[in-house]
Amino acid sequence: MYQLPVEFEEVMRPEWGDSEWNQFLHALKASPPTSIHYNRNKGQSLLFEGKPILWNPTGQYLPERPSFTLDPHFHAGRYYVQEAGSMFLAYLLQYILKDKHIEYALDMCAAPGGKSTLLLNNLPPNSLLIANEVIPSRFKILRQNIAKWGSPNQIITQADPSHFKPLRNVFDLVLADVPCSGEGLFRKQPASRKEWSLQHVQHCASRQKRILADTWQLVAPGGYLIYATCTYNKEENDQNVDWLIRHGAFRHIHFDVPHSWGITSTKYGFQFTPHKTLSEGFFIALLQDTRTSKQQKKQKAKTRRKASYYRPADKREISILSSWLTADTDWSFWTNPKGIYFALPAFAKSWINRLDSLQRWIPGITMGTIKGKNLIPHHTLALSSSLSPALPTISMNKTQALAFLRKQNIPITEWPALTPGWKLVTYKQYGIGWVKMLPNRMNNYLPIEWRIRMD
């Protein structure tokens, strides 16, 4: 076990006092709690026994950590495994939505996707979320987790925060859960203790200011900015919020939370600590832009290229694509130069031409490719919560579903009555992938990078 850095104790022990410091050390020896939050669009029933997370109606503590990898519900996007403290975002959203309708939201540092799924769970049905991650490897993880969640009301992007400048004053809500020194992970990831130093804290605080400098200008007049870290020190938390207030037109918003929750109120935010709350370390602050719409209008759409990377689907393509999705949504369909098709709710179609300043962006639902008169469905289409109920399905029990998720061949004799063609593989009514039935076999179309490697 890695020891706590001496300099960390020198900073935090005087801040907390001896009694609280000793409580903190004792908490670090305990096992981290396991918590999840459920997908509102994929069933309301609880899958596990456990205690509710009081600041998130869809959150739940589990009495022990199961093997999520071997649970088909996990692969179907029925829930997301997330640290409980970070779910306080849901509580802040309840406050915001009482005051303001959120049309456009941005999660600037979104990977691996936990807070984006919380946003998608809580934003109004006609809202659009832009979920951004600059690092390619983390962007891939974000894409998978957003796909599992199944919401069409999102666009995932890969870009540096500075590339969002054409979208100044656009977003009603911006979340900046910034990279930090990771003090709040000392229990869950003991190796993070070895990486900590005062120099690293200062480096992180400086990087956070750079991200904030590019981010706060994206907030619309009267809109909200949420700032978060998984750390304790003031330099990365309250001091950065203070810097933001001095440089932008923001006021911080604070309100009382039940004392029994154990959350510490700081000058500007809410602090979670493992010795007071059933969580890891986490800081979050809520700020509101104080300008009025008369002082600054939203940025108009700008197209930086002669033609967008995506082109709208034609009538023939739309007729093929539309039959795969629910008819109760007005869809817009698009394709890229690689011949991959995408679906986005029609209310958000203007965003196809608003993101040309970014390195990479993927809109809504990835549908697949068209060959002749037929769609070859993309794996992530199976995970969408907007699939047509008329699609032919093949229901699997847990043993069969795990075999499918391991990309194993499954004997066709178990479903002798199924006709040839594409079938949506479901577990407990929720999609987990595609198979194609042939006269004498069933082809498993699970992508190799999605397969389970655990026995």
Cα separation of 125 and 104, whole Å? 11
Compute φ and ψ for 436, nearest 5 degrees: -120, 120
**Three-state secondary structure readout of the chain:** CCCCCHHHHHHHHHHHCHHHHHHHHHHHCCCCCEEEEECCCCCCCCCCCCEECCCCCCEEEECCCCCHHHCHHHHCCCEEECCCHHHHHHHHHHHHHHHCCCCEEEECCCCCCHHHHHHHHHCCCCCEEEEECCCHHHHHHHHHHHHHHCCCCEEEEECCHHHHHHHCCCEEEEEEECCCCCHHHCCCCCHHHHHCCHHHHHHHHHHHHHHHHHHHHHEEEEEEEEEEECCCCCCCCHHHHHHHHHHCCEEEECCCCCHHHCCEECCCCEEECCCCCCCCCEEEEEEEECCCCCCCCCCCCCCCCCCCCCEECCHHHHHHHHCCECCCCCEEEEECCCCEEEEEEHHHHHHHHCCCCCCEEEECEEEEEEECCEEEECHHHHHCCCECCCCCEEECCHHHHHHHHCCCCCCHHHCCCCCCEEEEEEECCEEEEEEEECCCCEEECCCHHHCCCCC
Closest by CA to 253, choosing from 96, 102, 87, is: 96
214: CB partners within 8 A, 6+ apart: 160, 161, 162, 164, 165
Say how far apart CA 139 and CA 332 lie, in whole Å: 24
User: Is 180 in the active site?
Assistant: no
Residues marked active site are found at: 230
